[in-house]
Every structure is written in C-alpha cells, then in structure tokens.
Structure 1
Amino acid sequence: MLKWIIACSLLLPLALQAQETLVYLSPTGNDANPGTMAKPKATLEGARETWRRSPGKATTVILRDGTYYLDAPFVLTTADNPQHQPFTIKAQPGEKPVISGARKLTANWQDAGNGIWKTAIPAGITEMDRLYVNGKLQISARYPNYDSSARFYHGTAADALSPARIKTWKHPETAIVHALHRAEWGGYHYKVTGVDAQGNAILEGGWQNNRQMGLHPDHRFVENVREELDAPHEWFFDASEHTLYFQPGNGKKPAANIAYAATTELIVLKGSMEQPLKNVTVRGITFTGNKRTFMLTKEPLLRSDWTIYRGGAVLVEGAENAAITNCLFDEVGGNAVFVNNYNRNVRIDSNHIYRPGASGIAFVGSPGAVRSPAFEYNLAVPFSEMDFTPGPKSEEFPKNCSASDNLIQFSGEIEKQSAGVQISISNAIHVAHNTIHNVPRAGINVSEGTFGGHLIERNDVYNTVLETGDHGAFNSWGRDRFWHANRRIMDSATMANINLTKLDILGTTILRENRFRCDHGWDIDLDDGSSYYDIYDNVCLNGGLKLREGFFRRVHHNLMINNTFHPHVWFANSNDVFTANVVTTDYKPIQVNVWGKKVDNNFFPDKASLEAAQQRGTDKNSYVLDLQFRDFKKGDYRLKPSSMPGKITYRDFPIDNFGTRIASYKKLAAPVPLPAILLSAASSKGDLLEWKGAKVKNIEGLGERSATGLPDEKGAYFVTVPENSDAWKAGLRTNDVLLKLDGQPVNSVKTFLSVYQPIAWRTNLKAVVFRNQREQEITLANK
C-alpha cells in the first residue's frame, strides 16, 4: 500500500502538468518552434496557436529575459479562453522580460554641426512620438529647455507662443503646445496647424479639460520644433527630409541603437458584459515604450473636470477575476492600467508604476450606465426631464475591483488632469496600501458619486498637487443627479426631497487610516456636492480637510497637523457630522450659516480657537488638548501618557501601517515630508523654523528690532533666504519681516503659518514686508 501511495504522489505533478498548457517565449525564439523551454516561441501571437489547440486546459505563457517589441497591441479575448480556465502571462522566475511598444531602428549618425548629429530614417515612417537612444528616453526639442527643478512641465515661459518666437520657426506646424489650465485645474495640449496674419499660432486641441477656460498665460511650453533643438538630449524628426536630429549629452557620436514609440496599448484583455473574459493573470512583466495619449484624451467624464482616454499600457475591459500583479510600468506614454466599463473582481496589485504620462490606475465605467447623465460642470438635466429611478441604468461599470500595494511615482508626467488612482462611474472599489507620491494633481481622485461604496484605506499619499491648484491629495466631486451649478435651484430641490441626493449612490464611501499630505490645497478635499462619506482615523500632515456642499458625511477621529477643518458652503439639511477630530488651528468656514447635524466633541490647540468655534454655535462640548506626541518629528502621533486627558475619551492614530507593504517598494519611495514642528505648540521665543528653504523666527529684543528697523516686535523675521530656495523664488529676501499676508496681520511666525496654511493652494498672495527700513507691498509667487 505504501509503495502505491508513493507511486501515485510521484505521478501527481505529471498529471497536473497534463491539465496545463505551458508555452515559453524568448526574443531569440522562433514562432515555428513548439514553445518548450528548450525551443521557445518568439511572440505572444505565435503562442496563441499553441494554447488554442488545447482548449479546456489552464494555460501559462512564460516570458524569458529580453525585450519583446510589439507591432500592434496584443489582444486577449474570450475566444482565447472560452472555458474560463486559469490563464497566466508571466515572467520566468528570476527574470525580467520587457514588453515594449517601441519600434527599433539602426542609426547611421552623421555630424550636423553645433553638437548635433543626424541620421536618415526610412521613408515609410511619417511621425515619431518618443525617441529612445540606447534604451534611454530623450527630450523632444522644446522651449524653454527642460529644467528638472521647475515646478510646471519641467519648465514654462510666457513667451513660448509669442509671435516673435514663432517667427523664428521655419515650420511652426510641427509644434506641439502644452499649457496649464488658466485656473490651474489640469492642463491643455494643442497642435499648431498654422499662423494667422498677426503671427499668432492657430491651435487644434484643448479638449483635455472639461472646464474650458483657456491656457494659462505663463505656464506653457512648446516642443517638436527644429529651431528649439539647442540642449543636450533633445531631438527632432523632420518628416519632410526623413531625417532625425539629435544632440547627445556628452557631445560624442550617439549610439546606433535607437527606437521610437509606435504602439499605444500593449496588452488588452477584452471581453464584454455578455461574454466576459475570465481568470486571466498578468504577472512580473515590465511595460514600456508606448506612445503618448494626450491628444486622444477627449471624452468628458460626466460633470467632473476631467476628460479621459479609455486606454492604457494595459487595458482591461469586460473581465472577471483578472489580475495585473507585480509588474513594472516604466515611463509609459499615458495611463498605466485602465479598467474600462464592465469589470468584476479585477485586481491591480503589487505593481511599480513609474512616470506614466497620465494616471497610474483608472477605474472608469460607461456613462450609459448612468441615468440622466450630464457632461459639464454648468450643464444639468432639468428636473422636469430627469429619470428619478434610483441606481445605475446598466451594469457597464467596474465593481468589486481593487488597487492594492502599488507604488505609484511621478504620475501625470504629461497629462496634468490625472491621478495616481482615478475612480469614475464605479462601485465598491477597494484602494488599499498604495504609496503614491510626486503627482501633479490628486493622488486618489473620485470623479463623482456614481456609484460610491468604495473603501479607501491605509494609503500613503504625499507630494501631491505639485503642478496644479485648488485640489487635494484625496479629491472628490459630487455633481450627481441632484447637483446644480445654480445653488438656489439645488437648495430648493433637496429641501423638498432629500432622497434626490442618493439617486446615484449604492453605498457609503469609507476613507480610513490613510496618511495624506498636500501643500497646494487640502489633504482631503470633498468638493462640489461629494456625499455619503465616512472619514475616520486619517492623518492629515499639512492641508487639513475640506467639505464643500454635499450630504451625509461623517468625519470623526481624524488628526489635522498644522491645519484644520474647512467647511465650505453647506446645505441647511446636510446632516453632516464632525466629531472627535483633532485640529491644530481654528476652523476656516466659508459661507457656512448652518452647521449640519453635529459639530462637537472635537479637540482644539488653544482656548482662543475653541472659543471662536463656540461663538459660531459649534463645539459646546469640545476641549482644549495639550498635544504631547511621543515622537512628533518621526511621525509618531500617539500621545504621551503625561498628556492623556483624564476626563475625555481620546483615540490614538495609526502610525506604521500606511502605504505599500512590499519592502523593495518602500526602499524606492521618496521620504514622506513629515512636519518638522507642531505650530500650535511652538514657543513664542527661540524657535527658528524652516519655510520653503528659508529660516524664519519671531522678532525678539531690541537688537533684532534695531537690525531690521522695526518699531515693535511684530512680524515673521526671515533671517536667511538662500538664493534659489523656494522662498527666494516666491519673492522673499534675507532680513525681510513679513507684516501682512492676504490682508491679515502677521504678528509672529505662528500667526504667519496659521494665515498661510488655509490659502497655501493659491498661486499668488498679496503680502506686506518690511524691507530696507520701510514697508513694501509684494506678491508672493506661491509655487
């Protein structure tokens, strides 16, 4: 009996293998090969015929080391797996295969003078989007030149489209224009199609933003202009001459190994609601080399500020029980992963997404699933024509999908209306344990309430809203069926029938145990009617929390370091609750005459802040709390036993469970910019704080009064402002004393920061400084 058991156990792995089709690929393989490890095939298309001959078996396609250049997107459909067996495309363990959308060429470089080299390009190639030299992405010839330290677009200039500059271009019709939105709500992109009689560019494009207001007058740049090829790593392709020009960084003859982006999507998982593609996993693959998509971003996402391109390096549509896991998305041209329309139980986890041109991960449903949809902020379906049936119209949207343990860095490299994780027309999306940093707009964005029920937890989101403004590390809009740009119409409708507010809501969205930081807006920004949220146990490091309009939001047990609660424009019957939160400055209400269901039992930094709230009619039972954190500078915001209040209930905040749990990703992530000092606990004397690279303190004593020429000891004294620091760029200088900001007096460093924090998102701030023995009005370029 024992021998029989041993014999069966030895045969079991062979029996399992018989139920699975294995296909090996190698860039040096051949599609005529059988697809074994010894004789691998070369392409995914070649492998397709092998697994299609074995229907009903689990299939694993194993990619060996090397780069697989695609001539077209690889599309996997239900026909490839009709019986829904497990289907996996993965890397050979220990190896790092690359799928690229680039097309290889061999350059024959000739010296073109002035440090520029040129090579002939085959006549059949009529356009080139991105250039890789020896595998490294280069810079399209641009003005102004690429500046890694510049805040916007790596360098912008007001005269980028001036007639005087355009006059220097022999072929302006090659130019591409990138610019911020006039109000810094994302960006625009255009092609120049010609020049008018006044020498101004004729532009085609600008559809990339759903709140049309025109280009920013200053923050713009142009690329793809031959005459602007004047800096290392810049290139220009002259299609009329079939010639590529390139200026290498070292002045030496460039490598002959070049490639250009030729494909937009790389892998497409394509099913439908009627015939979903099931049980597919993509694991351990690097994706790179695909085309940019900024001129394809045209479709408005309901009434959010977004337009969208429904594509990505990996596009998932009509899938069930699919996973994109442990992959690297390396400088892909648009969205890294786009989960489109009907999808169920799709996991995007444990991926490293580095410098995607647009969003990292997007879950976006079909507007056809929405009843009475409208497609721009100022548009609304009249109530007399509205469909009042609750819930979605169809199932064409992502549901029960997830994004977890991803590291998303520097997303929105090209498209500024983007996010680390974007959610629109979706339900029950789980976003957990992601580290998201250095993004131009939100780290996590929810475009509208349709259809809610999301769980967003334990993410670490920081260095956000770096190139835009009026936004948040976490941002959401409402603008659902009930919402109207005319507040009086919306007020009367919701007062008459508050159930209008939940017509598009399938569940409450939960934000819990996240750490957020935004220096140009709010850490948590619920804007324009965002409703049905439960927000608790979050640590806000800098920007505080904002609630504008909206209904049935419960905000409790959150910590707001160096900032506070920003209620904006509330409804009389909002039913909002704000309790047991720690704020470290006074509330900053705007147009709030009624205070929801309950605003009480909160913790304030001082008596003055508490009394100010009580005078507005809130916080009758709130407290002043002495915040003695265990290790503030290291982000340990648990209270010391000595400061634990005896008569009230206080709950400590999480400190070590934010972001990705993958050790290698933690090492790659940028350090979290923790606050250096708790402003509400700052001493009135002796504190020398850092602000945007400058050292600032209170005016103390006759010596400092004499040195600055001040008549008293009021103001924030900028002791040193290093040249080229952010404070210098803002307009401050060594020995300036800031006396007023935004019309409000600044009596000390503490008051300066308490005035500054709520308006930190604004680009330009009016200020009064004492400089050279007299008061001067200046504008702080807050960038």
Structure 2
Amino acid sequence: MLCGFNAPGQDIYVATSGNDANAGTLSAPLKTLAAALARVRVRKSANVTIQIRQGTYYLNEPLVITPEVTHSKVVTIRNYQNEKVVLSAGKRITAIWKQFSGPIWMAQVEADAFEMLFVNGKQQHLARYPDYDSTARVFNGTAADALSPAITSRWKSPAGGYVHALHSGEWGSFHYKIKSITNGTPELEGGWQNNRPSPMHPKERFVENIFEELNAAGEWFFDQKKKILYLIPEPGTDLNKAVIERSDLKHLAELRGTTTQPVRNVTLAGLQFMHTKRTIMEHYEPLLRSDWMIYRGGAIVLENTENCLVKNAALTNLGGNAVMFTGKNKKSGIIGSHIYQIGSSAICFVGDSSAVRSPAFGYEQFIPVDQIDRTPGPKNDHYPLQCFARDNLIHDIGRVEKQCTGVQIEMASEIRVSHNTIYRVPRAGINIGDGAWGGHVIENNDVFDTVLETGDHGAFNSWGRDRFWHPDRKTMDSLTALHPELILLDAQKTVIIRNNRFRCDHGWDIDLDDGSSNYHIYNNVLLSGGLKFREGFYRTAENNILINNSFHPHVWFNKSGDIFRKNILMRPYFPILVKQWGKEVDYNLFPNENDLKAAQLNGTDSHSIAGDAGFMDSEHGNYQVRQGSPALTTGFQNFPMNDFGTRIESLKKIAAKVQYPVLLNAELEKNMHEMTWLGVKIRNVQGLGDRSAFGLPDEKGIVVMDVPAQSLLSASGLQNNDVIITANQEKADNIVRLEGIRQQINWTGRMEVEVMRNQQKIRLTLNLK
C-alpha cells in the first residue's frame, strides 16, 4: 500500500507540521524522516529525494540507511530550498524552573543521565573546578590541586564526576569517571583514550559534574537520582522562557553497508547536525602504533559506502566526532561543510585493522622479523580508498578530547584533503597516523592556530610506525640495513603535500615523525614552525618557503634517500643526531653567510647561497619573490599565494584569517632595537657604554629593562638589568635573534638562557607559557 502514496518521479517531503499518514507531497508532507526512509525502501524509481522543510527535528534514534533501504537507488536527503533544517540528537526540556539557592535555579526533569546542555543554543558547562575560563590555554582552565584532599573533601557525592587531564607529555588527553573517593584517594575508571600510556599531567587537569562546584554563571548539574536539574543562568536569561535542550543520542545518521554490499549513492545535503552525546567513556580502539585511540563513531557515520556524500552541512554543538568514515569506503567524502564547536575530531577516514599485514597496536610493540608478513600492501580492501574532504571550514574542535584533529587519516589510501580552512585546534590540523597505504594528496589547505593545548606536534603531523619500524633505534638501524625491502611494504604510494599554508606557533608547521616515509612536499608556505623530518625514508621537500624558521632533521637513517632542495630558509638548520644527511641537501637559500657556512660544515649545500629572498609583499601574505631574487638562481620557482583554504564564498566570509608574522630578517635586525617580549621590556645592547656598564665581552646581547612582578619571566627569575647573551645554547646577539630562537622551541614551554648579572654568568630556565 505504501507505494501508492508517491508516484514515480515525485520527491518525498517532510515537515514538522506533517503527518506520517500523509502522502509525503509538498502539500501533504510526512512528519518524520524515519517514515520518509520507509517510503524510499518501496519506491521503484531510480532517483529519490527527501526534501525537508525548515525546523528542528529531534530524533528518537539515528537515521540508519542500509542497502536494503536504498535498493541501489540514488538517494538525496536535503533541505528544501535552502531552508534551515536542524537534525538534533537531543531533547527539548520543558520544565518549571524555581529558585533553589542564591543564583542557582532548579527544575524537575524526567531524563536519563546526560552531559551536554544548551540554553538558547549556547552550550552550558558542567559544574567544574576550576571554573570555566575562556582565556585559559588548556581545557579552559586547569588546576594542579583539582584532586587534592583540600578540594575533594568538600564533595559529598563525587561518584559520577569526571577528571580530565593532559597526557604527561602533552600528547593528547585522558578522561576518567570518579567511582569513589576514600580518605582523599580517588578511585577512577578510564584513561584509555590515548595509545601512549602515561600518568595524567600533574598540572593540566580539571574536574566536572560535581554539585559542590556549581558556583558560576553558565554552570549546571543534574541529580540523576532525584531527577533535578540545577543551573546558574547567565545574566538576563529567563529559564521559563528559554529554549533548553540536552544531548540524548551518540549518532544522528548512519550509512551502514557491508564489505560485500556497500551503501551507494546517498547524499546528505544542506542539513545541520547538533546535540550528540559526549563519547569519551565509550570503547576506544588503538590505531596501530600511532598515538591514537579512537571511538569509531560520530554525528554522521559512513561504514562500507561507495559514492556517498555529505555536502554543505553544518555540524556543531557535538559531544564527540563530527563525521566518521570507517571501514571500506570508496569515493565517498564531505565537501563545503562547516564543522565547529565539537568535542573531538572533525573528519576521520579510518580503515579496519584486518586489512593490515603484521599489525602492531602499541608504540613498544614489534612483530619479530621472522614472523613479519613480507607481502606488500593491504591484506583486504576494508579501508577508505579515494575518499575526500574538500572546501570545508573547520574550527574550535576538540573542546573535550585533545588527541583529535581536523582531518584524520589512518589505514587508508589515496585520500584527497583539499581546500579546507582549519584553525583553533588543540592538536594537529591534519594528521596521518601511519604509512598504510599512502597515495594521499594534501593540497591547498589553510591551517593555522594549531597545537594550542598540547605539545610536540605540528599543524600537519604524521607517524609511520609501519612494519620496518622498531622502538629501539639500534635495532631499527640494523633491521633496515639488512632488510631494506621492509621499508615500503606499507607506505607503498607517495603522499603529496603541496600548495598549502601551515602555521604552528607551538611546534612544527609540518611534522613528519617516527618513521614517516615516502613523502613529496613542495610549494608550501610554512609561516612559523618550519619543517621536521624524523626517522624515515624517501622524503623530498623542495620549493617550500620557511618563514622565520628552517629545516629540522631529527635522527636520520643511513641511506635514507631524503632530499631537501630549492627551499627558502630564514634560520640555520636544527639537526638532532644526524650523521648521514640523506641523498641531497642543496640548492637552498639561507638568510646569511654564517648560516650557510654552518650548513656546509655538514658536507651539504655546496650549491646553496645566502641572501635576502626579496618577498613581494610579506606584510599581506604574498611570499612570491621579486625578479632578481637570489632564490631564483637556486632553481626556486614562484607559486600561487591566493589559493589556500575553502573556496565556498559563504564559508570564506565567516572564516578567521591567518596572521602573517613579522619577518625576522636582516632588515628588521637593523631597524628594531627595543620591544616588549613576553610581557617584558627589552632592548639591544648599544655601544661601549653598555659593554662597560654590564661587563660584557662585546657589544652584543639584550638588556632587560622592565620585568613586571606578575609576569612569567619574573617567576622564572629574570631581573631588571640582566643581559641575555645566549638562548637555547645559541648566541642571542639582538632582540630579533632572541625572538627567532623562541619560535623554534616555543612548543616546549621553556627556554634555557644565559644572562650576565653583576658581571657574572647565570643560567636560567624561562617559562614561556
């Protein structure tokens, strides 16, 4: 009988005012998407479109689309004529609010436990210690005493509270549920959200969902036993008139096929997805030997699909991941979407570990050599292939979980990540977790304000802890020398990183870490953190511009095959444990003769030269070089400077803009003599008078003029009239050099300096954050 409701060729319409007994036409729409999918199942036409009228649709369960629903049809689910359509994983709370005590209000709410609450569209904060601080760098506020007896002794019923903390190495975060606290000692459940086990960070931690910490506007607590919701509203909010919503479901839409029968040709277009639950305490799966554990879910889940698309969507106010491509997905992707204010990662392409030969699942694990499967490539096709993320705007993600990223690629092949704008992220903007199986193209992205809450990472980050890689360097050296055929068993296809603009002020702009192999990196503008190559093979970096920074080769292999050529540098190389300098390091432009000569002592750069690159308009982000630039004589070629990030006009209008750094070059050194640096007023040493007054060996260094009592550097022991002469074991001849050194190591949070004080040399450790 259902097939009689719609004639072939007609669209199916849904409206909040509809009725599921209706015909599903524009004038007689259905009420629910579940009913619309039931109509799709029995339709005989090859193309079916579900048109959704404006409004908010609170789903009782996720939309599940399987091959049995689509029956090989081309199915589109979209908003009608650009009307605003919200699919909510939450529930509307309608209750009578009464004043409880002071600023705290209360209401009886019949609901199971929930952890996300929204008032007039704005997320509120679970009662927490310390209080939410929008300006705090980590977790919007942390405290070393968050679990101290002095704090926990004031909690009457702490069970059900949460502890959130950074990894001790700042490599992501851990999350725990409080089971009990006995004699000041907490019993915690959790800590499985990171694949590099460690204690929680001693300082960067906070607790939440504790009634006694309900003391600030915008905070709330739900008593599950009494079914009472407590809330301190923000000034001017009438709770009895406000729209109040809570989270309820983990997922909103699931496209779930099988490896033999994928979901094909389904498009979700023009929809807004909101209010999913937090998933930090769900099952997390290790992603091989990367630092990642992951929950294979999100507001939208695509599992075993082909030619499926998320288009022009908005995903916001989510508790966990936004879009998860898991398992066997081919030619599926997401384009033109806005993802912001979410709990974890934005877009994930994650294959199944069954496709990996000789997999290992922890940093310290290694399959014995005689047991390694020597067959190249994947074992099966249960992984994303030729999928894509294009023209998306991604920002303010990882609000709960810090081991997250704008785009994650793991156990996948030929993923194209292009023209995305990504910023304000706690860790990497784009992350590749392993070498399996390469072929990705990362191009024309604009990625900045990255690694804001963690450390030792990059705007782009990768790992390559593949079959050849061993956690003990001596073992790995001998292994790769004896069995070089192991190196590219997983990293079969070259990963291309081109025409991007990256900025990381707390790490590297591009960080190829632990075994990352088979990369070609060219035509990129690196605005702050430079380029790092660690422990890998067959990587070529050419024709890149490294603003205020340089090349960071770390722990290279003999016969690595690495190439670094025709790049523009503004600092000397920063090698760590490099004895063999790869296949070719040459034809680069250094900022001065001293840096060039230092490089040539390594036996590299015989054809490199020194000089000012001569950028056309660095103040406005045009780093093309002028005619006659010495860079052009090295073989460097100009490339476009106006094609970074999303091309969708509506997204470009609302996207933040990257800040272009002041060039720390010879001209600035000549003209800048005084500045405020990390809150401290400093100036260059000037003339024989300063040399005599401060007892200096020469007329170089930085005079500390004024150290405010509350500044970080005052707490580090820096005093007025100190003269900084070295930083990070480098000569700090002037304030521009000092700032250049700081930018190299800012992510570490500290800087070792040598100062002259009362004509004596003193060593200090300066806290930078």
TM-score (normalised: structure 1) = 0.93
Distance 1:65 1:697 in 2: 60
- Indicate if the aligned counterparts of 1:584 and 1:680 stay in contact, CA closer than 8 A: no
From 191, 209, 219, the counterpart of 2:194: 209
1:504 CA drift (Å) = 1.0
Offset of residue 358 of structure 1: 0.7
Pairing 1:658–2:644 present: yes
Counterpart position of 1:75: 64
1:683 match: secondary structure: helix
The amino acid that maps onto 2:310 is I
**1:434 alignment partner in structure 2:** 420
Counterpart residue identity of residue 503, structure 1: L
Aligned to 2:443: 457
Which residues in structure 2 correspond to 1:279-294 (within 5 Å)?
279-294=265-280
The whole-number CA distance in structure 2 between the counterparts of 1:700 and 1:317 is 66
User: Which runs of 5 or more structure 2 residues have no equivalent in the other structure?
Assistant: 1-5
Question: Separation in 2 of the partners of 1:278 and 1:387?
Answer: 33
Aligned AA for 1:29?
G
Query: Quick one: which amino acid aligns to residue 77 of structure 2?
Result: I
Cα distance change, pair 262–735 in 1 and its aligned pair in 2 (3 A): farther
For residues 417 and 284 of structure 1, do their structure 2 counterparts lie closer, same or farther at Cα, with a shift above 3 Å needed? same
Matched with 1:146 is: 132
Q: Which moved more, 1:501-510 or 1:320-329?
A: 501-510
The letter for the 2-side match of 1:170 is: K
Q: Specify the alignment match of 1:623 in structure 2.
A: 609
1:703 CA drift (Å):
7.7
Q: Given the alignment of the two structures, is residue 55 of structure 1 paired with residue 44 of structure 2, yes or no?
A: yes
Change (3 A) 1:229 1:495: same
Aligned with residue 115 of structure 1, among 98, 103, 117: 103
Q: Report what 1:89 is aligned to.
A: 77
Instruction: Give, in angstroms, the shift of residue 52 of structure 1.
Output: 2.2
Mapping for residues 629-668 of structure 1, pairs under 5 Å: 629-644=615-630, 647-668=633-654
CA contact (8 A) 1:566 1:588 kept: yes
Once structures 1 and 2 are overlaid, which stretch shifts more, 349-358 or 181-190? 349-358
Give the secondary-structure state (helix, strand or coil) at the position aligned to 1:203.
strand
Structure 2 counterpart of 1:107, which letter?
A: A
> 2:233 maps to what in 1?
248
Secondary structure at 1:217 match in 2: strand
Partner of 1:25: 14
Report what 2:158 is aligned to: 172
Structure 1 residues 50, 154: closer, same or farther in 2, change over 3 A?
Answer: same
Separation in structure 2 between the aligned mates of residue 121 and residue 78 of structure 1, nearest angstrom:
39
Residue pairs, 1:511-590, within 5 angstroms: 511-590=497-576
Q: Is the 8 A contact 2:568 2:631 kept in 1?
A: no
Check 1:566–1:646 CA distance in 2 against 1; reply closer, same or farther (3 A cut): closer
Question: Structure 1 residue 777: deviation in Å?
Answer: 5.1
Q: CA deviation at 1:732?
A: 6.5
Question: What displacement does 1:715 show?
Answer: 2.6
How far is 1:644 from its partner?
5.0
Q: After superposing the two structures, state which structure 1 stretch, 692-701 or 571-580, moved more.
A: 692-701
The one of 86, 97, 100 aligned to 2:88:
100
Go from structure 1 to structure 2 and tell me whether the alpha carbon gap of 1:703 and 1:172 turns closer, same or farther (over 3 Å shift).
Answer: farther
Query: Which residues of 2 match residues 282-681 of structure 1 at below 5 A?
Result: 282-296=268-282, 298-644=284-630, 647-681=633-667
Deviates more, 1:648-657 or 1:277-286: 648-657
Letter in 2 for 1:120: Q
Identity of aligned residues (%): 47
Deviates more, 1:380-389 or 1:456-465: 380-389
Distance 1:523 1:781, change over 3 A: same
Tell me, in whole angstroms, the C-alpha distance in 1 between the residues paired with 2:755 and 2:768.
15
How far the C-alpha of 1:461 sits from its partner, in A, is 0.5
CA contact (8 A) 2:167 2:200 kept: yes
Does the 8 Å CA contact 1:424/1:446 hold for their aligned counterparts? yes
One-letter identity of the residue aligned with 1:214: P
The Cα shift of 1:772 comes to 9.8
Q: Which residue of 1 aligns with 2:3?
A: none
- Which of the numbers 213, 221, 228 marks the counterpart of 1:236? 221
**Amino acid corresponding to residue 93 of structure 1 in structure 2:** Q
Amino acid at match of 1:260: R
Q: What's the offset of the Cα at 1:692? A: 4.7
Cα distance change of structure 1 residues 681 and 716 upon mapping to structure 2, 3 Å threshold: same
Which shifted more, 709-718 or 671-680?
709-718
Shift of 1:113: 1.6
Structure 1 residues 25 and 298, CA gap change in structure 2 (3 angstroms)? same
**Structure 1 residue 687, shift from structure 2 partner:** 4.3
Residue type of the alignment partner of 1:229? L
Is this contact kept in 2: 1:427–1:506, CA < 8 A?
no
Q: How does 1:648-727 map to 2 (within 5 A)?
A: 648-688=634-674, 691-692=677-678, 696-701=682-687, 713-717=699-703
Secondary structure class of the residue paired with 2:741: helix
Q: Distance in 2 between matches of 1:54 and 1:732?
A: 75
Distance 1:484 1:646, change over 3 A: closer
Which amino acid is the alignment partner of residue 109 of structure 1? W
Judged with a 3 Å threshold, the aligned counterparts in structure 2 of structure 1 residues 252 and 408 are, in CA distance, closer, same or farther, namely closer
Tell me, which stretches of 5 or more residues in structure 1 are unaligned? 1-16
| 1:747-758 superposed matches below 5 A | 747-758=733-744
Amino acid at match of 1:621: H
* Alpha-carbon contact 1:421-1:444 (below 8 Å) kept: yes
Residue identity in the other structure for 1:166: T
Q: Distance in 1 between matches of 2:219 and 2:93?
A: 18
| Counterpart-to-counterpart distance in 2, 1:541 and 1:222 | 36
Query: In the aligned structure 1, how far is the partner of 2:157 from the partner of 2:631?
Result: 72
Structure 1 residues 756 and 645: alpha-carbon distance in aligned structure 2, compared to 1, 3 A threshold: closer
Cα separation, 2, equivalents of 1:172 and 1:693: 40
> Deviation of residue 94 (structure 1)?
2.7
User: Are the structure 2 counterparts of residues 582 and 167 from structure 1 closer, same or farther at C-alpha, using a change threshold of 3 Å?
Assistant: same
CA gap of 1:171–1:578, structure 2 versus 1, over 3 A, is same
Are residues 153 and 502 of structure 1, via their aligned partners in 2, closer, same or farther at CA, if it must alter by over 3 Å? same
CA distance in 2: counterparts of 1:565 and 1:69, whole angstroms: 51
Alignment-mate amino acid for residue 376 of structure 1 = G
Q: For 2:59 and 2:758, locate their aligned partners in 1 and report how far apart those are by CA, in whole Å.
A: 64
3-state DSSP class of the match of 1:412? coil
Contact 2:284 2:296 in 1 (8 A): no
Q: State the AA in 2 paired with 1:75.
A: V
Selected match of 2:252 from 243, 266, 287: 266
1:331 alignment partner AA: N
CA–CA distance in structure 1, aligned partners of residues 87 and 689 of structure 2: 66
Q: Is the 8 A contact 1:585 1:680 kept in 2?
A: no
The C-alpha deviation readout for 1:565-621, integer Å capped at 9, x for no partner, is 111111102111111111111101000000111111111111111111111111111
Deviates more, 1:698-707 or 1:105-114: 698-707
Aligned amino acid, residue 70 of structure 1: L
| Residues 325 and 719 of structure 1, relative CA distance in 2, 3 Å threshold | farther
Q: How far apart, in 1, do the equivalents of 2:748 and 2:258 lie?
A: 45
The reply on whether 1:759 has 2:748 as its aligned counterpart is no
SS of residue matched to 1:755? helix
| Shift, 1:251, TM fit | 6.6
How far is 1:393 from its partner? 0.6
Task: Report how far residue 674 of structure 1 moved.
Answer: 0.9
